[in-house]
Amino acid sequence: MRNADHAGPKARHFPLRIALLSTLTVAAITVISAVPAQASQLATEVADTAGGTETNLLLQNLLNGITFGLLLALASVGLSLIYATTGLSNFAHGEQVTFGAAAAFAAVTAGAPILLAAVFAVLAGGASGWLQDTVLWSQLRKRRIAPMQQMIVSIGLALAAVNLLQIWMGAQRVRLSTSIEVRYEFGPVSIGPQTMISMAVCIVALGAVGFFLQRTRLGRATRAVSDNPALASATGISVNRVIRIVWIMSGSLAALGGVLLALYENTSDFSAGARILLLMFAAVTLGGLGHPFGALVGSLVVGIVAEVSTVFLPTPDLKYAIVMGMLILTLLVRPQGLLGRKERVG
Amino acid sequence: MTDPQTIISADHLIAGYLPGVDILNGCSMDVKEGELIGVIGPNGAGKSTFLKALFGLVPVREGKVQLRGEDITNLKADKLVQRGIGFVPQTENVFPTLSIEENLEMGAYQAPKTYKAQRAKMYDLFPVLGKRRNQQAGSLSGGERQMVAMARALMMDPSVLLLDEPSAGLSPDRQDETFVRTRDINRTGVTVIMVEQNARRCLQICDRGYVLDQGTSAYTATGQELLADPKVIELYLGTLGADKDDEDDAGAVVAPDATTEKSE
């Protein structure tokens, strides 16, 4: 009976939720059945080369969206954790993603196999997170610099980092793997092995983050610090140590995201991370700022909406505009984001 | 040398949040092992600041805080928790997105080995928390949060517990419950220093009270003595409770007092 006092509001929302769900389901069925017909001319061309099976453009884009969403989630989960524990909107997080790709590229150039290069990138990413927090962010926190000022610092850092990355990587596009991508057919969709491995790595890494936050003592302490750093400190949690670990994790995950993004797009360059920075912010805000799983849910929604919208849009260039429009609409209806909770007051 | 029985002593503390603005102007206190101390005073006297200065949350510029004769001035909160001091803030005293059980686990963060045993003790002391262990603390009422906060502070089995206005914002019967519970906790051997707005109720249960005024400890005496002190009555307790003409108001103040006397 512990939820007895919540039964009232829940019961009131129930019909609304059912109505919303049924509308969405009907809309989804209509769209899925309508699209292959509409896009059949396009699709047939693809299907011809693939040997008979008709590719469903909508399902294919849905799959692409999920893949991109998972990559985005991996890249942005650190952004979300840093915001949650320190209040900082880190505009240099995009460069953290590029840094992963750059480190992996450096390793590959030096002759390392791609797997080893990815491990190196993750370690280097973690080290960069540790270094940044040690020499910069923890010092700013100690001097009680407000999050707004810290954000401006992060913008400066982003500008400096993107230039340093350009010097390091050069201005040209780079590739981590030169193998020719084969694609496997699965009914109406096709997928390459690189993408499949990327998805699997994303799912394992995100699962590990979830396990860390929910099932380990340090993870629960991280959530406690996100809830209230002052109270966490008064409770005996070493807040600075928790934040240091968050920075290391965040750097590693962003680097891994950068490597996988480079494999997924089959190319990378010094501004690869900066290009997805706003999408990461959109995903994290959409999911619920500071919520541990907000980044995951928000990223999946952003990825799917962006990719699926290209089926209907006159030009794919508009897909991120659609994402931002959806973000605004969502926040109008649900200011705390999809997973964010309104807290009881009093 | 301090009295061997003295557990906490504060010696002429000068402290404040901003440079140049002192809230405490030479505040002193000596607390003996096992005492229940009430700190009262008008708004702005520095009661909460004093408690925070003891717990290292407000920088102490001059003076000394000692725990069993050891200097603990300006030590970080996590170090003080390690040494056996627990602190319950007045507001925002639970982790809202964590469950009750997770809140308690955080209380024992520095001593994970004792967590399970301490948790069982807390569920004995606050049975309602045990029944609702998986509920998110953010969905609890003020009184329930106060219980979670106290239980969390007790998870490290502290020798000193600092309470910042535990009765603030609670209904009169919940306030009584909180005072009775504080007394119970104190009787298990925990030294308690509580800051209270509700001076009358606080002085009724405490062994000794300190009256703070303008950042200095004006004077100290036993709770009963302060309750009878005409100056304290005039300045901090008000004469409402003694006003026999206004029956409604007198009733409102006297009634809860009567219940506690029964329960004690």
Q: Which class would CATH give B6-91+158-263?
A: alpha beta
- Interface check A344 vs B, CB under 8 A: yes
Write out chain A residues lying below 8 Å of B55, CB-based.
234
CB A121 within 8 A of CB A258: yes
pLDDT at residue number A113: 93
Q: What angle do CA A312, A317, A318 make, to 5 degrees?
A: 60
pLDDT tier at B254 (50, 70, 90 boundaries)?
very low
Residue B89 scores a pLDDT above 50: yes
As a whole number of angstroms, the distance between CA A42 and CA A56 comes to: 10
* Residue B249 CB neighbours (<10 A): 12
Whether residues B106 and A234 touch (CB distance < 8 A) is answered with no
pLDDT over 50 (residue A64): yes
Q: How far apart are CA B95 and CA A201, in angstroms?
A: 32
Facing residue for B55 by CB, picked from A221, A234, A344? A234
What are the structure tokens assigned to B132, written together? 């609702």
Per residue in A248-295, pLDDT (tens digit) is 999 999 999 999 999 988 888 999 999 999 999 999 999 988 787 889
Q: Is A221 on the interface with B (CB under 8 A)?
A: yes
Is the pLDDT score of A136 beyond 70? Answer: yes
What integer pLDDT is reported at residue A190 of this predicted model?
86
Q: How confident is the model at residue A12 (pLDDT cuts 50, 70, 90)?
A: low
The stretch A213-241 carries a mean pLDDT of 93
**Would you call A224 an interface residue with chain B, using a CB distance cutoff of 8 Å?**
yes
Q: Which residue has the higher pLDDT, A262 or A30?
A: A262
**Lookup: tokens for B262:** 């029964």
The ipTM value here is 0.83
Look at A25 and B49; give whichever has higher pLDDT. Answer: B49
Domain boundaries, chain B: 6-91+158-263
How far apart are alpha carbons B66 and B64 in whole angstroms? 6
Provide Rg for chain B, Cα atoms: 18
B38-65 per-position pLDDT tens digit: 998 887 788 889 999 999 888 999 999 9
* Residue closest to B259 by CA, chosen among B181, B173, B183: B173
Best of A216, A231, A240, A242 to disrupt the B interface (most B CBs within 10 Å) is A231
pLDDT on residue B243: 45
Q: Which residues contact A39 (CB under 8 A, 6 or more apart)?
A: A57, A58, A311
**Measured between beta carbons, which residues in chain B are less than 8 angstroms from residue A223?**
95, 97-98, 102
Distance from CA of B143 to the nearest CA of A (A): 9
